[in-house]
């Protein structure tokens, strides 16, 4: 058996080696033949290149020799010499210039400006790039200094260099072209017509056709300019070709490009390769026949051996099958010999021990037995166990290092008159874990029921409290209708209780949406700083009522215009800050730190919102349960600062839905730090459309925080603004004063209110007294700057920027101050007495837009949905409305449907009345959709008076220009 296998193995190896060697031989022959053909192509192109270079050298020597003949010649003699030069080599023209004027070979007077190429940079010998001159062919101009301080110019056609060479090879299957290095123009091609040369104009177009991108082309040119020859395989019109490029001369003024199809090169090697392939196939067939014959002989031997093997292994197979089926480790112990006789399967999986170790190291097996029961191995040796016994233990599996629970069953058996023990070892870890999990599940269910019971009890109390207040105050209000002061107080308390009740209901609804999976994200464009301002306005009032210090700061926040769910972000921050205020004692401190992290995804911006307080903190035990619904820690504030326990659960779920991470660290009496990490899409382009207006401005920034100076400098540099900074007020003043006296003043000064040496008001006053009032001064302050507002304006401060210094705040402040000196590019007086139909379903937006338009003395009719707009439009006489401002998202009928119905009506003004869309969706496809639906223009929300005015007047002007153009055509 072994001998047969050895013969088969040697035969297979031998034939495999021969086949591999033959395969390598074929590949090497093919490669060598291809390389030889490529080398031949290279040599042919080198010869062409040498010929062109030789012609060029002859031309250079000839022109240089004739440039010495013009000294002291009259006009006729000069013309004669020029004719001699042209006729000698069939040049296009020769020109002699002295002091910028001269004559050509035809006797025509000519100046330097009339030269075919007059961009020579020196008065030395030079050659122009390829030009398509007045003769309609590609040519170059040769500049050669003369002895009499004059200059000789010779126009040489590139066709001059194809003498005796039609730039083809390989029986005209291969062809070449001459390329000008500086312009990359193809100036000389093969005389044999070829589809490529028929339409190619320059080398870049040729390389692109062959399949090379811009980066590859750039590398090719760099290698050629380093005097290297390049040959690359490409594809032209579905056919593989070799493209060869090299410089004609060392200075790489011209390139020679050759192209030959791969099939032509490989044609010579085809026959040899076919013969070798046939031999290769014959060898494989022979190998298969030999292997078949050997295999047939071996097959009969294997059948005989298999019968003997099956018979000898039957007993072991039965034991192994039993062990596998039972998922147990089974082994036989010989009582007479006192040794382990046989072990079956599962030894590594169940025990983490190899079979050889169990069989050859008896101490290992005895230690395993003793782990089930002390001295069990001794009892086994003494044959004391007569009845079937069972033992259990737990141990660490030495292979997986996991804890496992095992059960051992010892049973007496007799095989062919010999007494033996059979051991069954089973892993019962799963059963133990199921029992433990059932216990834990029962405990969790009990705790959950208790938590829900506590929640229902708490909710009952929480809801009844505001309801009692509402009912009680309502009854008191009915009895005090004649007492306005009391009635006002009762109504205020009813409103407060209603708001509190609404908050409870909203929390329950939010939790219900989360648990049912119905909470969705609404992504929109928003400004982060505006979101933070709204959060500050809500939380600062609560903090003031408890006399707490509440601060917001930012670190490295470069991007402020984002795309995401702003409402969910506000909900997260307000919930967390509410808790911070609630569980922080009076005179405590609460900080919100916003950090823009390093981006790991080029499409997402990573932000960290860190909330730090020095409140009562939380215990480690409660931190393990925090965020679970209905959970609240019972501490010294319990009862005084009660709640539903839903806030953190809602926050954790919203953060998870938004793809973020929340981390909470806290200790009792040591305060709490909550870190929320979220990612948003960047939406800068739409918000900073006019940033080019800020380019070139000079800004001076004064602040005592170096981190603020760095962050603001980065943001302003992005706008193209030059920034100088200082940490001290006096130092800043001297720099500002020096810049003013050097007639290179700053355009805007940005000053922090509080500085180490003098405050911002004093610095602003000093600037106004010593420098003047022309430079705008902007103050950096916290959110509430009411205490210094009057003083600041009194000393000449122009504007305020609230901290943190987000990008949008800086942008709008700078644009506002820049815009003071800019005039409008439209006349909004044209809006006076115009009649506009305003369609908007949101009452607040409707009121704002209506009042903005009426400020320009515009007559405004309003509609609350699309159907109402159509009805109002059809009810008025034709040409009543000059413009219709149409919202998109509305009930009953949206803006698209209303526009379609207006355009399809049979009124005279149905087609021509301008309809302008108003929408918060400002992507290009959204705007295009509006235009496709029949609208004339688009205004982005939130709307501004300038935006509305500019769009309407621009639309009228376009309509007027179109009408005038049609009138002229008619």
Q: Residues 2-42: pLDDT tens digits? A: 555 666 667 667 767 777 777 677 677 767 766 766 777 77
Cα torsion 208, 212, 214, 217 to 10°: value is -100
Q: With bands split at pLDDT 50, 70 and 90, how would you rate the model's confidence at 529?
A: confident
**What residues are paired with 111 via a beta bridge?**
101
Question: Which residue pairs, CB below 8 angstroms and at least 24 apart, start in 54-60?
Answer: 55/160, 55/161, 55/163, 56/161, 56/248, 56/249, 59/89, 59/142, 59/154, 59/156, 59/160, 60/142
35 and 94 co-located in one domain = yes
* Last residue within a domain, chosen from 161, 187, 206: 161
Residue 105 in contact with residue 79, Cβ under 8 Å?
yes
Decide if pLDDT at 236 tops 80. no
Q: Residues 811-852: pLDDT tens digits? A: 777 877 765 544 444 566 778 889 999 999 888 788 888 888
Pairing mode, if any, of strands 722-726 and 698-702? parallel
* Last residue within a domain, chosen from 105, 140, 161: 161
Q: Is 393 inside a domain boundary? A: yes
Decide if pLDDT at 604 tops 60. yes
Which structure tokens are listed for 402? 């996991």
Q: Which domain holds residue 445?
A: 433-512
Q: What is the DSSP string of 612-630?
A: EE-S----HHHHTTTTSTT
Q: Is 716 inside a domain boundary? A: yes
How confident is the model at residue 315, as a pLDDT? 62
Instruction: Please state, as a whole number, how many other Cβ atoms lie within 10 Å of the Cβ of residue 665.
Output: 14
How confident is the model at residue 469, as a pLDDT? 66
104 and 123 co-located in one domain = yes
488 and 467 co-located in one domain = yes
**Average of per-residue pLDDT across 345-370:** 82
How confident is the model at residue 915, as a pLDDT? 94
The position carrying tokens 């619904």 is 629
Residue 828 gets which letter from DSSP?
G
670 and 525 co-located in one domain = yes
Decide if pLDDT at 867 tops 90. yes
Higher pLDDT, 911 or 940: 911
Higher pLDDT, 837 or 598: 837
Residue 606 in contact with residue 600, Cβ under 8 Å?
yes
Decide if pLDDT at 740 tops 60. yes
**Average of per-residue pLDDT across 377-401:** 87
Higher pLDDT, 341 or 863: 863
User: How far apart are alpha carbons 195 and 228 in whole angstroms?
Assistant: 28
pTM, full prediction = 0.40
Q: For residue 504, what is the domain's CATH number? A: 1.10.287.130
**What residues are paired with 663 via a beta bridge?**
675
- Runs of H (alpha helix) within 67-121: 75-89
**Average of per-residue pLDDT across 686-708:** 81
User: How far apart are alpha carbons 521 and 388 in whole angstroms?
Assistant: 65
Q: Is 938 inside a domain boundary? A: yes
How confident is the model at residue 942, as a pLDDT? 64
Decide if pLDDT at 241 tops 50. yes
**Segment of 749-758, 798-807, 888-897 carrying the highest mean pLDDT:** 888-897
679 and 694 co-located in one domain = no
Secondary structure (3-state) at 142: strand
User: How far apart are alpha carbons 643 and 90 in whole angstroms?
Assistant: 102
- Angle, CA of 524, 527 and 528, to the nearest 5°: 110
Q: With bands split at pLDDT 50, 70 and 90, how would you rate the model's confidence at 609?
A: very high
Q: For residue 618, what is the domain's CATH number? A: 3.30.565.10
583 and 652 co-located in one domain = yes
How confident is the model at residue 896, as a pLDDT? 93
Q: Residues 481-501: pLDDT tens digits? A: 888 877 877 787 787 567 656
Q: For residue 737, what is the domain's CATH number? A: 3.40.50.2300
540 and 643 co-located in one domain = yes
**What residues are paired with 413 via a beta bridge?**
420
**Average of per-residue pLDDT across 748-756:** 87
**What residues are paired with 552 via a beta bridge?**
592
Q: Is the peptide bond before 57 cis (omega within 30 degrees of 0)?
A: no
How confident is the model at residue 835, as a pLDDT? 93
410 and 459 co-located in one domain = no
User: How far apart are alpha carbons 155 and 116 in whole angstroms?
Assistant: 8
233-254 as b/e: b if 16+ CB within 10 A: ebebeeeebbbbbbbbeeebbb
Q: Is 282 inside a domain boundary? A: no
Cα torsion 842, 848, 850, 852 to 10°: value is -160
Residue 843 gets which letter from DSSP?
H
How confident is the model at residue 968, as a pLDDT? 43
Q: Is 874 inside a domain boundary? A: yes
Q: Name residues whose C-beta falls within 8 Å of residue 418's C-beta, 6 or more positions apart in sequence.
A: 334, 336
7 and 156 co-located in one domain = yes
Residue % of the chain over a pLDDT of 90: 11
Decide if pLDDT at 925 tops 80. no
Q: Residues 647-671: pLDDT tens digits? A: 677 788 888 888 889 998 988 888 8
Helices and strands per DSSP (H, E), number in the chain:
26, 35
Q: Write down how long the chain is.
A: 970
Q: With bands split at pLDDT 50, 70 and 90, how would you rate the model's confidence at 311?
A: low
Q: Is 284 inside a domain boundary? A: no
Q: Is 148 inside a domain boundary? A: yes
Higher pLDDT, 479 or 860: 860
Stretch among 54-58, 71-75, 262-266, 364-368 having the lowest mean pLDDT: 262-266
Decide if pLDDT at 316 tops 70. no
Average confidence score pLDDT of the chain: 79
899 and 854 co-located in one domain = yes
User: How far apart are alpha carbons 328 and 330 in whole angstroms?
Assistant: 6
**What total number of domains does the chain contain?**
7
- What backbone phi and psi angles, to 5 degrees, belong to 44? -60, -45
* Last residue within a domain, chosen from 129, 161, 193: 161
542 and 624 co-located in one domain = yes
144 and 48 co-located in one domain = yes
**Among the listed residues 481, 502, 499, the one whose alpha carbon sits nearest the alpha carbon of residue 490:** 481
End-to-end CA distance of the chain: 106
Q: Residues 259-275: pLDDT tens digits? A: 888 777 766 566 666 67
Q: Is 402 inside a domain boundary? A: yes
Decide if pLDDT at 508 tops 70. no
């Amino acid at each position: 058996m072994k001998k047969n296998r050895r013969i088969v193995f040697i035969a297979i190896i031998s034939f495999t080696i021969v086949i591999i060697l033959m395969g390598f031989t074929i590949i090497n022959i093919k490669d060598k033949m291809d390389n030889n053909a490529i080398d031949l192509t290279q040599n042919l192109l080198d010869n062409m290149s040498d010929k062109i270079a030789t012609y060029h050298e002859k031309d250079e020597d000839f022109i240089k020799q004739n440039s010495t003949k013009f000294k002291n010649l009259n006009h006729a003699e000069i013309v004669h010499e020029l004719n001699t030069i042209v006729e000698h080599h069939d040049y296009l023209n020769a020109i002699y210039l002295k002091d910028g004027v001269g004559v050509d070979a035809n006797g025509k007077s000519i100046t330097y400006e009339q030269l075919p190429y007059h961009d020579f940079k020196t008065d030395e010998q030079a050659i122009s790039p390829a030009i398509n001159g007045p003769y309609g062919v590609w040519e170059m101009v040769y500049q050669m200094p003369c002895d009499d301080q004059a200059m000789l110019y010779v126009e040489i056609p590139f066709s001059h260099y194809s003498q005796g060479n039609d730039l083809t090879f390989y029986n005209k299957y291969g062809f070449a072209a001459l390329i000008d290095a500086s312009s990359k123009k193809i100036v000389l091609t093969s005389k044999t017509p070829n589809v490529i040369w028929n339409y190619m104009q320059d080398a870049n177009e040729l390389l692109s056709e062959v399949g090379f991108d811009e980066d590859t082309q750039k590398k090719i040119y760099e290698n050629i300019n380093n005097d290297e020859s390049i040959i690359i395989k490409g594809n032209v019109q579905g056919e593989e070709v070799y493209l060869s490029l090299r410089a004609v001369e060392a200075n790489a003024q011209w390139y020679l490009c050759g192209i030959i199809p791969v099939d032509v090169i490989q044609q010579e090697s085809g026959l040899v390769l076919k013969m070798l392939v046939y031999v290769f196939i014959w060898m494989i067939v022979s190998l298969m026949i030999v292997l078949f014959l050997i295999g047939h002989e071996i097959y009969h031997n294997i059948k005989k051996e298999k019968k003997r093997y099956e018979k000898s292994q039957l007993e072991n197979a039965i034991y192994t099958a039993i062990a596998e089926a039972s998922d147990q480790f089974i082994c036989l112990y010989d009582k007479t010999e006192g040794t382990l006789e046989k072990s079956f399967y599962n030894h590594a999986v169940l025990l983490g021990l190899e079979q050889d170790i169990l069989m050859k190291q008896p101490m290992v097996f005895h230690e395993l037995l003793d782990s089930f029961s002390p001295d069990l191995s001794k009892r086994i040796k003494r044959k004391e166990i007569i009845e079937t016994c069972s033992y259990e233990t737990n141990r660490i599996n030495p292979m997986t290092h996991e804890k496992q629970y095992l059960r051992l069953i010892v049973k007496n058996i007799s095989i062919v008159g010999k007494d033996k023990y059979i051991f069954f070892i089973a892993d019962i870890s799963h059963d133990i874990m199921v029992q433990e999990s059932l216990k834990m599940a029962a405990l969790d269910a009990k705790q959950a029921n208790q938590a829900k019971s506590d929640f229902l009890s708490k909710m009952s109390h929480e809801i009844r409290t505001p309801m009692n207040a509402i009912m009680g105050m309502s009854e008191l209000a009915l009895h005090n209708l004649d007492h306005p002061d009391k009635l006002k107080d009762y109504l205020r308390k009813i409103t407060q209780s209603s708001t509190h009740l609404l908050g409870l209901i909203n929390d329950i609804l939010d939790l219900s949406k989360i648990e049912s999976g119905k909470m969705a994200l609404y992504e929109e464009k928003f400004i982060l700083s505006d979101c933070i301002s709204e959060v500050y306005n809500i939380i600062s009032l609560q903090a003031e009522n408890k006399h707490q210090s509440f601060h917001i700061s930012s670190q490295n926040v470069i991007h402020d215009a984002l795309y995401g769910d702003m409402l969910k972000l506000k909900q997260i921050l307000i919930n967390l800050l509410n808790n911070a205020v609630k569980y922080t004692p009076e005179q405590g401190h609460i900080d919100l730190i916003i950090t823009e992290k390093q981006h790991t995804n080029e499409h997402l911006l990573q932000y960290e919102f860190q909330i730090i307080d020095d409140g009562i903190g939380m215990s480690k035990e409660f931190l393990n349960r925090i965020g679970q619904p209905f959970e609240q820690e019972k501490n010294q504030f319990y009862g005084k600062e009660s709640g539903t326990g839903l806030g953190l659960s809602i926050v954790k779920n919203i953060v998870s839905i938004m793809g973020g991470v929340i981390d909470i660290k806290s200790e009792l009496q040591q305060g709490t730090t909550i870190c929320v990490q979220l990612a948003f899409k960047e939406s800068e382009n739409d918000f900073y459309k006019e940033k080019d207006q800020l380019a070139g401005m000079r800004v001076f920034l004064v602040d005592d925080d170096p981190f603020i100076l760095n962050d603001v400098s980065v943001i302003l540099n992005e706008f193209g603004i030059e920034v100088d900074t200082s940490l001290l007020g006096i130092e800043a003043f001297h720099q500002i004063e020096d810049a003013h006296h050097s007639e290179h003043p700053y355009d805007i000064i940005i000053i922090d209110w509080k500085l180490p040496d003098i405050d911002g008001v004093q610095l602003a006053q000093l600037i106004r007294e010593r420098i003047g009032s022309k430079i705008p001064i902007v103050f950096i302050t916290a959110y509430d700057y009411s205490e210094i507002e009057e003083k600041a304006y009194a000393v000449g401060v122009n504007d305020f920027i609230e901290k943190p210094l987000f990008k949008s705040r800086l942008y709008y402040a700078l644009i506002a101050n820049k815009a003071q000196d800019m005039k409008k590019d439209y006349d909004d007086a044209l809006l006076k007495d115009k009649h506009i139909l305003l369609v908007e379903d949101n009452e607040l937006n409707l009121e704002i837009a209506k009042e903005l338009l009426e400020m320009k003395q515009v007559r405004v009719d309003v509609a609350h949905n699309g159907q109402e707009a159509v009805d109002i439009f059809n009810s008025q006489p034709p040409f009543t409305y000059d413009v219709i401002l149409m919202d998109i998202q509305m009930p009953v009928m949206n803006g698209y449907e209303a526009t379609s119905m207006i355009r399809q009506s049979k009124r005279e003004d149905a087609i021509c009345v301008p309809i302008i869309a108003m929408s918060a969706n400002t992507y290009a496809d959204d705007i295009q959709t509006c235009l496709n639906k029949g609208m004339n223009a688009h205004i982005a929300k939130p709307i501004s008076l300038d935006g509305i005015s500019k769009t309407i007047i621009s639309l009228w002007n376009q309509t007027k220009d179109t009408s005038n153009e049609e009138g002229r055509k008619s």
